[in-house]
Structure 1
């Protein structure tokens, strides 16, 4: 099954591409850096470890994996006597095409997005439960953030400085998910 997951991942060019600095972030007035980091990590971990096996996306991935395993398993049998290498190559091409069709039918980009959206909504709910609210970053703030290495102490400190500043949170406030006027 691991090989199948690798095959699906290879079929998705650019999935792990770097993203620009986000337009929105979360903040809580005067929150300490230690609390800010702990609550952010806690909410992220809660979403990361949420069981997604009941989602349509996960079930689609499992079904696609079964179909690919069946296709590849059927082709891995010892070649029959009298089968030419040209026929074996043709069979391999046919299996590759079948695997591509299966991967396409699973709609992996949509499935990954569904799971990402679910995890994002879980993080948002957790942060709101901890008293955080969304705010937008100005162009200047985003440009500065893009210059800071992801995961660095300097980046964490800069985001915290923005996220704990009551003035920024007030003037750059955005509606929290689920609270926007409908």
Structure 2
């Protein structure tokens, strides 16, 4: 359980920060809006609920958590214990471990979208600028992306290679 808390604490701050519009998106010519949304939620949920414990990042978090439990509240020199905990946290390589788990989950989303018949396309500078003006999660943003992602002319003219997927643990 502690691993989930540590991992969640490491990931949440970055999720709350607004980011610029991505250069790539996913689309499928003529896809109905209801299907587009359902596929999006389905792929996100598959990644969210997939066990990540087999990834190197999660294994690092588990190992670090176990070591921290050994020193947290242990009798002896409190300062020495705190220094050891700090060393363990540095050894876990939080950023690298978080990136490993994130890559694993992103690959799951990518595979799911490809399995549903979606392909990547590159957003133009103008499209990205317009998208950045729309609030993340807003109906206007969803609608704008859907219109791009379902337009065969946009998908053809702005096609980008689908990502190579990394092997799953």
Q: Secondary structure at the match of 2:73?
A: helix
8 Å CA contact 1:4–1:68 kept in 2: the answer is no
- Report how far residue 150 of structure 1 moved: 1.0
Normalised TM-score (structure 1): 0.80
Following the alignment from structure 2 to structure 1, what is the Cα–Cα distance between the partners of residues 4 and 49?
22
1:165 and 2:151 aligned:
yes
Structure 2 partner of 1:37 = 37
Structure 2 partner of 1:175 = 161
Following the alignment from structure 1 to structure 2, what is the Cα–Cα distance between the partners of residues 28 and 177?
16
* Structure 2 CA distance for partners of 1:108 and 1:38, relative to 1, 3 Å: same
Normalised TM-score (structure 2): 0.86
Structure 2 partner of 1:72 = 72
Unaligned runs of 5+ in 1: 78-90
8 Å CA contact 1:4–1:65 kept in 2: the answer is no
- Report how far residue 35 of structure 1 moved: 0.6
Following the alignment from structure 1 to structure 2, what is the Cα–Cα distance between the partners of residues 155 and 27?
15
Q: How many residues align?
A: 164
Unaligned runs of 5+ in 2: none
* Structure 2 CA distance for partners of 1:9 and 1:103, relative to 1, 3 Å: farther
- Report how far residue 71 of structure 1 moved: 1.0
8 Å CA contact 1:27–1:134 kept in 2: the answer is yes
- Report how far residue 140 of structure 1 moved: 1.1
Q: 1:104 aligns with which of 90, 93, 113?
A: 90
- Report how far residue 101 of structure 1 moved: 1.3
- Report how far residue 13 of structure 1 moved: 10
Pairing 1:114-133 to 2, within 5 Å after superposition: 114-133=100-119
Q: Secondary structure at the match of 1:115?
A: helix
- Report how far residue 3 of structure 1 moved: 9.6
- Report how far residue 74 of structure 1 moved: 0.3
8 Å CA contact 1:8–1:103 kept in 2: the answer is no
8 Å CA contact 1:43–1:127 kept in 2: the answer is yes
* Structure 2 CA distance for partners of 1:100 and 1:4, relative to 1, 3 Å: farther
